[in-house]
Amino acid sequence: MNIKEQFKINKKKGKHTPHYILRYTMDANDADYVRDASEFTEKEWNELPDFFFLMIAYLGRGYSGKFSHGEDWGNYYGHHWEENKHGLGKEIWAFQEMYDIVCSGDYDVCHSYSDFSLEYYDEDNKQYTVTIPNIDNLFDTEEEMVTAIKDALKKTDWEDEDEDEE
């Protein structure tokens, strides 16, 4: 008997449900990277608000970008432990809460998003890489970018629980 031949592929009959997989890398501390993924059906994906897509484009820049304030702690796009230099701390926390894209690693909560990648699987389960747009190419100024993200959050149903406490 050949044991290897006993491993059979159980192919799914019919078509697969088209879906997206968003993969992300987060820095917990001193290069302790946490990697995770979220899956969305094509229907769910098509119903996501502009805020979601702006945040992926923004956070996906990781540690650099034309509107970055340098390489010091807290100056780059994906940083959210303290208020980030673009004033988007609230928007980053909202993104985490709304879409359950939160990091918890060996060193507690991550302080930065460092990378996003996106894949699409069609009904034949064929994988495609989806290009995430570079947010730096979507806006001429930092103010435009920040305003667009803040305005997009206002159009969602997210409620800031901390706002009531102030």
- Helical spans, DSSP H, in the chain: 42-47, 50-59, 89-99, 142-154, 161-165
CA distance 99 to 1: 49
Residue ranges of the chain with per-residue pLDDT less than 50: 166
- pLDDT value for 66: 76
- pLDDT value for 135: 87
- pLDDT value for 13: 72
CA distance 67 to 95: 20
